[in-house]
């Protein structure tokens, strides 16, 4: 079975590793764009659609962070669904960034909510710190329908140092232990392209261990946040990709959505496209320079 992770690998091979984050706050909309007769959610959908249309041939996938939509209540949830639907209709892989982390029946319900029905996505993000029994309820969708997971291992925020970098008695970091357990679990759901459907979230802002992490999890596909607004550079990111400049997608949200603010006189969707191309070329150059 061709899994969603296999399809994502192919998308990166065809269009590059840029993941456009549709983490769209209403304040990101350009002045004069919003129509007064429409709701905030409806205007956000208009903005998202324009960004998708402008970038879908230079991006590997899109990620939609649900919190930006939940904050608008029912209006936002409708916008979330319509955004997911539009990305899927464009034939693009879509990651629902929901970061759920609960056990037993609750996890089953989260899996059903985001792998079926109105909010169905190709991939979802999970937080594993309640243990592997918070991950296993999602696996029937992985093995049965080819769905994909991206599970937090080592994140891009400064607070990663608070817990994830703590040392264990055997010398490993906490994030090493989490990554090792997830990697082992992921061997149960390998795809045709040599990558597990259980991917790892590996932040691109801490580069000291990059080569070690890539070598340690050679058959794990990475979702790499931290590029752009969080300080990650192309040179940092390249170390987390494989020898084919694949094996991961690099998320950028604000740097793409707000690119028009740094490109005076350029329409927001064209500016977003320009930023994606710039990012894609920078990562390719960095990978070729390794």
Tokens of 136: 């296993």
Q: Regarding beta strands 248-252 and 18-21, do their DSSP bridges make them parallel or antiparallel, or are they unpaired?
A: parallel
Cα gap 5→122, rounded to integer Å: 9
Catalytic residue positions? 99
Q: How many residues does the chain have?
A: 290
* 247 φ/ψ angles, rounded to the nearest 5 degrees: 85, 5
Which ranges of 95-138 would DSSP assign to H, the alpha helix? 104-115
**Long-range residue pairs from 227-232, CB within 8 A, at least 24 positions apart, any chain:** 227/251, 227/252, 227/255, 227/279, 228/252, 228/253, 228/254, 228/255, 228/256, 228/279, 229/253, 229/254, 229/255, 230/156, 230/157, 230/205, 231/205, 232/156, 232/203, 232/204, 232/205
**Can you tell me the distance from the alpha carbon of 93 to that of 84, in angstroms, rounded to the nearest whole number?**
10
Q: How far apart are CA 272 and CA 217, in angstroms?
A: 32
E runs forming strands in the chain: 18-21, 61-65, 94-100, 123-126, 148-154, 198-202, 222-224, 248-252
């Amino acid at each position: 079975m061709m899994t969603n992770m296999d399809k994502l690998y192919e998308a990166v091979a065809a269009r590059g590793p840029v993941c456009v984050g549709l983490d769209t706050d209403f304040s990101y909309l350009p002045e004069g764009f919003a129509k007064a007769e429409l709701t905030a959610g409806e205007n956000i959908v208009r903005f998202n659609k324009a960004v998708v249309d402008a970038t879908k041939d230079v991006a590997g996938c899109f990620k939609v962070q649900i919190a930006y939509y939940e904050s608008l209540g029912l209006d936002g949830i409708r916008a979330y669904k319509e955004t997911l639907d539009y990305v899927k209709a464009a034939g693009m892989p879509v990651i629902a960034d929901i970061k759920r982390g609960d056990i037993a029946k609750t996890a089953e319900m989260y899996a059903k909510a985001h792998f079926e029905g109105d909010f169905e996505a190709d991939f979802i993000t999970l937080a594993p710190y309640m243990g592997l029994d918070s991950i296993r309820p999602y696996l029937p969708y992985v093995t049965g329908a080819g769905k994909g997971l991206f599970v937090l291992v080592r994140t891009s925020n400064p607070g990663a140092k608070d817990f994830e970098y703590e040392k264990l008695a055997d010398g490993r970091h906490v994030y090493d232990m989490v990554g090792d357990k997830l990697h082992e679990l992921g061997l149960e759901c390998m795809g045709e392209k040599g990558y597990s459907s259980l991917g790892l979230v590996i932040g691109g802002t801490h580069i000291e261990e990059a080569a070690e992490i890539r070598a340690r999890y050679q058959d794990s596909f990475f979702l790499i946040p931290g590029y752009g607004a969080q300080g990650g550079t192309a040179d940092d990111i390249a170390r987390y990709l494989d020898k084919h400049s694949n094996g991961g997608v690099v998320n950028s949200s604000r740097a793409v959505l707000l690119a028009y603010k740094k490109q005076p006189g350029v329409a927001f969707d064209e500016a977003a496209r320009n930023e994606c191309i710039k990012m894609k070329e920078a990562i390719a150059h960095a990978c070729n320079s390794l």
